[in-house]
Structure 1
Amino acid sequence: MTKKELGRKIKERRKIMSMPQNQLAGYTGLSVVTLSQIEGGKANPSFETLNEIFHFLNLEILIVVKR
């Protein structure tokens, strides 16, 4: 899975949950800019960062990576 595909999945899930970027950023401790870069496929988030994002989006990393 590419960074762009991963970012798109994060953004899609966040929107399905009607969660604005600033809310997810606040939950995860990320800046809105960093979250935007992740969603745009322009950042290389660590496993820990992805785990934190997925926790608040009720996703499991293996499910997202496998698809």
Structure 2
Amino acid sequence: MKKYVGDLIKSRRELLGLKQPDLEEISGVSTRTIQLVENGKANPSLDTLLKIASPLGLTMQLLLKETGFE
């Protein structure tokens, strides 16, 4: 699930033309943490996940639905 969520976040970020430092600036989450999440190497808290996903227009409901949890 971690890798899938990371892939979803990365693809949405790229679709919006944002680089990881851009997302850091608007989300308040460090570029390093964003890297780890996108590569499926982090277990972010729900709060951190929301901080990353919200500026990308991704809701927690969407993330859970896309990973098979509803």
TM over 0.5: yes
Point out which structure has higher relative CO (alpha carbons under 8 A, 6+ apart): 1
Q: Aligned partners of 2:62 and 2:32: how far apart in 1?
A: 26
The CA distance in 2 between the partners of 1:64 and 1:33, in whole Å, is 21
Per-residue CA deviation, residues 2-47 of structure 1 (Å, 9 max, x unaligned), is 1000000000000010011101012122221111001000001110
Q: Are the counterparts in 1 of residues 34 and 52 from structure 2 also a CA contact under 8 Å? A: no
- 8 Å Cα contact 2:37-2:44 kept in structure 1: yes
Q: Residues 11-26 of structure 1 correspond to what in structure 2 (within 5 A)?
A: 11-26=10-25
- Within 5 Å, which residues of 2 pair with 1:1-67? 2-67=1-66
Structure 2 unaligned blocks of 5 or more: none
What's the TM-score once normalised by structure 2's chain length? 0.87
> What RMSD in Å do the two structures reach over aligned CA positions?
0.9
Equivalent pairs counted in the alignment come to: 66
Structure 1 gaps, min length 5: none
Provide the rounded CA distance (Å) in 1 between the counterparts of 2:33 and 2:51.
14
Q: CA deviation at 1:58?
A: 0.9
